Amino acid sequence: MSEASAILALAHRDFIKLLRDRQRMVADFAFPLIFIGILGTSLQAGFGGNSNINLLDYVFTGVLAQTVWQSSALGLISLLADREQDFSQEIFVSPISRYSIILGKILGESLVALPQALGIIVFGFILQIHIGPDQLARMALALIVIALFGGAFGVIVLANLSSQRAANQIFPFVLLPQFFLAGIFNPIQNLPLPLDILSHIAPMRYAVDLLRDAYYGSTSRIVLSDATTNLAIIGGLFVAFMVVGTFLFVRAERNR
Amino acid sequence: MIRVEDLVKRYKKAETNAVDGISFQVKAGEFFVLLGPNGAGKTTMISILTTTLSPTSGGATIDGSDIVREASAVRRKVGIIFQRPSLDQNLTAEENVRFHAVLYGIFPYAPTYGLMARGYRAKVEELAKLLGIARDIHKPVKTFSGGMRRKLEIMRSLLHDPKVLFLDEPTAGLDVPTRRTLWEHLTEVRRTSGTTVFLTTHYLEEAEEADRICIIDKGKVVSFGTPDDIKRDLVEEYVLVDATDRSALRDELARLGHATSGGAPFKVQLNGHTVHSILRSIETPLSVVKTHTPSLEDAYLEIVSRTGE
């Protein structure tokens, strides 16, 4: 009971911090809107007629999944910032389990990421992207899974970094290739073998595909794998990232 | 209450040990001070004892719980005030307290103050009054002064009734009046709660009131005992005397068997005698009498200068 309470308290703290940081809220919303508004609209205008798919819808679903996944992953880095400001000491000297700390952090960063999704979906309506109520319900569930998955990915990256500065330097290299390997803007059905292997290794691929499955339906040729396969892979990776990441992070903290 | 045995810590890539075979014990209810210059290993010691850092070898127990094998039990038994403030600046004072209360399982979580348990609200109100921040308890911590933040941290750290309160240079960076107020507050806390207090500091006046002091330098214990023990063992006590007839005084001191060092004025070592008995034994009319009562600062400077050699 006290572990569950502690997890909720940790998550609540992150959410409060978001509400009190207006600059961060504006920045969090602006970036995906630029991607969808400018890139999506221009791709559809330029190439949409020649392809069989609506590129605005395609970029919208890709960016929506990527934003939530990435926001949650990057949010975990605040554990490093906490350590540098010595706030994490207060958390790490408390008697709760280290796994509860990480789980609370993932939950908190998911709560931070999901309002961004809401903003992007509202923007999608403005751009006249059609989202039916059943699609919306499926997407909402998928986005919750994606946010938690992104947080777990953040843990495994975080476990191998020593400072916020290192994280800021490393994260673009970990994230940017996944933008293309996960097919946020570009279809990845017919990649050359080496890129196809890398695409299958990129965790973001499964997050994006899960959301596209929720939006397009599993019979669509845009969707790479069915929801069950994606969920199984995401579940496996979530547990692995959590267990290994927490173990490595705590070990690095104590064995300085 | 605290038992430390041959504790060693060498940081990764370091060539020397930050803590180098330290052993000592602290009794329940004691006010214990770990004293030493910057870089002596004080914060490393506290980090190990509070389980946030693994020792390289050796071990320690807090109230019978092993710091490595029973880390979670140790964490329940200790409260900590870190060297650098560990309050979340984005939260209000009450939110910081609530966060702590929930992490330590004292009260279940609720998203707002109003929804928290009645017992919690009563406790917060009582503590806020005690600290004189009843009106500011719902204001962000970043609007608080340095002294106020420290007081809030102390209040927070005592919320789960720890058996040992660790204070890692709690007054560093505070001005003198704030330091004094904070110290009065801590003394009061110690008097009412009976908590064992483990303090690291390099302010000597804060160590004068200690039950026992452990002085460390370069990761090793260089002196251990009560403030009086340390002063007595490490600093010479003497009386300076001089006379118009110096040669007569020199001869008389030699005849009486008093150990002197240097020239006039003559430094007569007390060696267990009182100043009064020494002065009574001298018949040569004295022109100068100066007593030297060592302070802890003298002892400390003596120790640190010795280890620096």
Question: Is A141 a residue whose pLDDT tops 90?
Answer: yes
Greater model confidence, B193 or A101: A101
Q: Which residue of A has its CA nearest to B53?
A: A254
Among A58-72, B85-99, B170-184, the minimum mean pLDDT is found in: B170-184
Residues of A in contact with B108 (CB under 8 A): 1-2, 5
Q: Do B108 and A1 touch (CB under 8 A)?
A: yes
**pLDDT grade, residue A51 (50/70/90)?**
low
Q: Do B86 and A87 touch (CB under 8 A)?
A: yes
Per-residue pLDDT tens over the stretch B159-182: 888 889 998 888 777 777 777 777
Q: Is A253 an 8 Å CB contact of chain B? A: yes
Share of chain B above pLDDT 90, in %: 14
Report whether A62 contacts A208 (CB < 8 A): yes
- Within 8 A by CB and 6+ apart from B10, the residues are B16, B17, B18, B56
Question: Is A240 a residue whose pLDDT tops 50?
Answer: yes
Q: Is A23 an 8 Å CB contact of chain B? A: no
Residues of A in contact with B103 (CB under 8 A): 6, 9, 90-91, 94-96
Q: Do B109 and A21 touch (CB under 8 A)?
A: no
Question: Is B268 a residue whose pLDDT tops 80?
Answer: yes
Burial B57-95 (b: 16+ CB within 10 A, else e): ebebbbbebebeebbebbbbbbbbbbbebbbbebbbbbb
Averaging pLDDT over each range in A219-228, A235-244, B69-78, B171-180, which range is the top one? A235-244
Q: Hey, of B102, B112, B141, B163, which one would you mutate to test binding to chain A, going by the most A CBs within 10 A of its CB?
A: B102
pLDDT, position B148: 81
Of the partner residues B50, B87, B90, the one whose CB lies closest to the CB of residue A20: B90
Mean pLDDT of A92-100: 86
CA distance B123 to chain A (A): 19
Mean pLDDT of A41-50: 68
pLDDT, position A133: 92
pLDDT, position A85: 66
Residues of B in contact with A112 (CB under 8 A): none
Question: Is B125 a residue whose pLDDT tops 90?
Answer: no
Please tell me the distance from the alpha carbon of residue A214 to that of residue A208, in angstroms, as a whole number: 10
CA distance B102 to chain A (A): 6
Q: Do A87 and B102 touch (CB under 8 A)?
A: no
pLDDT, position A69: 93
Q: Do A94 and B103 touch (CB under 8 A)?
A: yes
Per-residue pLDDT tens over the stretch A107-125: 998 998 888 888 888 888 8
Q: Is A52 an 8 Å CB contact of chain B? A: no
Long-range contacts of B185-191 (CB under 8 A, 24+ apart): B185/B131, B185/B151, B185/B154, B186/B154, B189/B154, B189/B158, B189/B165, B190/B31
Question: Is B197 a residue whose pLDDT tops 70?
Answer: yes
Mean pLDDT of A66-70: 92
Greater model confidence, B255 or B300: B255
Please report the domains of chain B, with CATH numbers, ordered by start residue: 2-90+140-231 (3.40.50.300), 236-293 (no CATH)
Mean pLDDT of A215-239: 90
pLDDT, position A241: 93
Q: Is A86 an 8 Å CB contact of chain B? A: yes
For chain B, give the longest Cα–Cα distance: 86
Residue A32 belongs to what domain range?
A: 2-254
Please tell me the distance from the alpha carbon of residue B142 to that of residue B87, in angstroms, as a whole number: 9
pLDDT, position A182: 87
Supply the mean pLDDT for chain A: 85
Among A27-36, B20-29, B195-204, B220-229, the minimum mean pLDDT is found in: A27-36
Q: Do A12 and B76 touch (CB under 8 A)?
A: no
Q: Which of residues 97-116 of A touch B (CB under 8 A)?
A: 97
Of the partner residues B52, B87, B108, the one whose CB lies closest to the CB of residue A5: B108
Q: Is A91 an 8 Å CB contact of chain B? A: yes
Q: Do A92 and B52 touch (CB under 8 A)?
A: yes
Q: How many helices (H) and strands (E) does chain B have?
A: 11, 14
Q: Is A132 an 8 Å CB contact of chain B? A: no
Question: Is B150 a residue whose pLDDT tops 50?
Answer: yes
Supply the mean pLDDT for chain B: 84
Residues of B in contact with A8 (CB under 8 A): 102, 109
Please tell me the distance from the alpha carbon of residue A85 to that of residue A24, in angstroms, as a whole number: 19
Q: Do B108 and A20 touch (CB under 8 A)?
A: no
SS3 at position A21: coil
Question: Is A1 a residue whose pLDDT tops 60?
Answer: no
pLDDT, position A149: 95
Q: Do B100 and A94 touch (CB under 8 A)?
A: yes
**pLDDT grade, residue B198 (50/70/90)?**
very high
Q: Do A6 and B91 touch (CB under 8 A)?
A: no
Counting the structural domains of chain A, the total is: 1
Position B33: which residue type?
Answer: V
Per-residue pLDDT tens over the stretch B36-84: 887 888 889 998 998 888 899 998 999 999 998 888 889 988 988 887 7
Please tell me the distance from the alpha carbon of residue B294 to that of residue A38, in angstroms, as a whole number: 78
Averaging pLDDT over each range in A10-24, A191-205, B36-50, B228-242, which range is the top one? A191-205
pLDDT, position B309: 47
pLDDT, position A151: 92
